[in-house]
Amino acid sequence: MKPATTFYLHRILYSSKEYPLTYSVYLQNLRSQLPEKSISIKRLKYLLIIFIGIFLLFSILLPTHIYVTNAIFGPYHLTLSELIKHVKDYKKNGERWKSYRMEYIQVEFGEGNILNPEIINNKTQNIRRYSDAWKKDRIIATYKKLKNPKMYIKLPTKNSNHFHSEFPFDFTKFSYETLKCILRILLQTKSQEDLNNLEFNDKIDIFNFIKNEYSKNATEFNVGILTKCGILIGFLYKPMYEIAFLPTGRYLFSPNDISLDATRQYFSTYILYVLIICCTLFLGVFLYTFFNVIQYYIKRFRFEIFERYGFFSATKYVFNKNVEDELWLLNLPGNIYEQLIQLDDLINRSTHKYSKIAIINLPNNHQYVVISSVDHVDVNNFEERPFTICPVSDIRKIVSEGIYCINDSNVEVQIRWPSKSLLKEDCRAEWLHSKLLEISEKYRQQFVY
């Protein structure tokens, strides 16, 4: 906030140079009621850094960015030839695909390219996964193997909820041969009357027909068409640590095995909840910071326009207790605002001023030394405590570091000079000492040599 050369106090215009102490307190109050914009900006900056850090941490551990990208833009359509190449790359690079990895896919294997049982020792045996590996009471998934590429497909059983789900297939991307396979199986269940009513003028009619049939009975569609026509939606992963069984015992996957999981949705609910919580927290703190910035500009507009030019009286000042204590020493009449104005008038009328030091005389003939942190020339430089008042009768010693005086408990304390003098030579101690010797009889009597 840019300081002004004049200011209003209770709709009365004052000059900042004539009333530097009052102006100093005025600015302090404005700043106390007007939070620094930089604080809100820094808070927002730190929030963004923390959020990015958390996101990167989740990206390394989960990794979240791959899940999010695949969930938003997937499933990606792959033909069998594209899948063969993709599986080779996946096996070759594996978890090193940190920046991006295509996992959530819609695959067009082709009719008859899914081999139901695994052939072991010339025997066809199913690889199974149970809901309880110890009890082996409920089969929730089976593993089937492709002819080419060599990989597993994990399919849900009727005991799994995903078995009855309607997968988000994009039928427009399937080849004509695959569509014919789907259409042939669907038409087998239709009566002759229904077949007579069907009419396919173009591919769009076929797409709409298949989509409508799928939505009518997803379970029947999944059982009768998915493996036969070779269409699946799932995500690639390594099943190395999964517990699976053959009828004869435990089946172990090798570290190089790749599987397409079609038993559950790709973007897990757990990850979704984590992202929702993180985004909610970020949004909450962001909105809080945003409203603080808006509030800052509203208050600034009020202070800069209305109060600075006297349209409204200034908001009630919140004085530092030290300021009230210092003014209490003078015992001036009126409220604290009027006391500040009187103190500035006394300093202005004083004929004994040097740098930031002034010796004032009250009507009761008591003398006080006012050490101001506000220079009478440069009123824009001020500190939290704008002035210190010391009765001349309490001063015991003046040194280059400051003044030694006694407090209410009769204990000697030091009042240091507020800052380095603006003058080339710092002669404040010498000037104050010689001036008090000249004008104050009490100082001459009690000064400690």
| pLDDT per residue as tens digits for the range 151-162 | 899 999 988 888
Collapsing DSSP to helix, strand or coil, 201 comes out as coil
The 10s digit of each residue's pLDDT in 6-35 is 666 666 777 777 787 787 777 766 666 665
Amino acid at 269: T
Of residues 387 and 39, more confidently modeled: 387
Backbone angles phi, psi at 154, to 5 degrees: -95, 115
pLDDT of residue 381: 44
Residue 232 confidence class, pLDDT cut points 50, 70, 90 = very high
Question: How large is the average pLDDT for residues 384-409?
Answer: 86
Q: Which of 97-111, 228-242, 271-285 has the lowest mean pLDDT?
A: 271-285
Contact 179, 211 (CB under 8 A): no
Alpha carbons 119 and 125: distance in angstroms, whole number: 6
Burial call 363-394: b when 16+ CB within 10 Å, e when fewer: eeeebbbbbbbbbbeebeebeeebbbbbebeb
Contact 257, 239 (CB under 8 A): yes
Residue 378 confidence class, pLDDT cut points 50, 70, 90 = very low
Quick check: 347 pLDDT over 60?
A: yes
Residue 295 confidence class, pLDDT cut points 50, 70, 90 = confident
Residues 6+ away with beta carbon under 8 Å from 222: 163, 164, 165, 167
Residue 211 confidence class, pLDDT cut points 50, 70, 90 = very high
Residue 379 confidence class, pLDDT cut points 50, 70, 90 = very low
Alpha carbons 143 and 104: distance in angstroms, whole number: 18
pLDDT of residue 376: 45
Quick check: 218 pLDDT over 60?
A: yes
Quick check: 283 pLDDT over 70?
A: yes
Determine how many CB atoms are found less than 10 A away from the CB of residue 135.
8
Q: Which of 109-118, 162-171, 228-237, 383-392 has the lowest mean pLDDT?
A: 109-118
Of residues 418 and 75, more confidently modeled: 75
Q: Which of 166-175, 254-263, 279-288 has the lowest mean pLDDT?
A: 279-288
Contact 389, 398 (CB under 8 A): no
In the chain, what percentage of residues exceed pLDDT 90?
19
Alpha carbons 317 and 343: distance in angstroms, whole number: 17
Question: How large is the average pLDDT for residues 254-268?
Answer: 85
Of the segments 20-24, 37-41, 70-74, 328-332, which one has the largest average pLDDT value? 328-332
Question: How large is the average pLDDT for residues 298-322?
Answer: 61
Quick check: 288 pLDDT over 70?
A: yes
Quick check: 56 pLDDT over 90?
A: no
Q: Which of 299-308, 363-372, 395-404 has the lowest mean pLDDT?
A: 299-308
Enumerate the domain spans of the chain: 76-265, 319-446
Alpha carbons 310 and 379: distance in angstroms, whole number: 20
Question: How large is the average pLDDT for residues 321-349?
Answer: 85
In DSSP terms, 233 is beta-bridged to 106
Q: Which of 116-120, 208-212, 429-433 has the lowest mean pLDDT?
A: 116-120
pLDDT of residue 377: 41
Element (H, E) at 236: strand 231-237
Question: How large is the average pLDDT for residues 439-448?
Answer: 81
pLDDT of residue 58: 66
Mean pLDDT of the chain: 79
pLDDT of residue 266: 79
Quick check: 226 pLDDT over 80?
A: yes
Residues 6+ away with beta carbon under 8 Å from 27: 3, 382
pLDDT of residue 108: 92
Residue whose structure tokens are 């089969």: 139
Contact 126, 139 (CB under 8 A): no
SS (H, E, C) 2-38: CCCCEEEECCEEEECCCCHHHHHHHHHHHHHHCCCHH
CA neighbor of 300 nearest in space, from 40, 13, 16, 14:
40
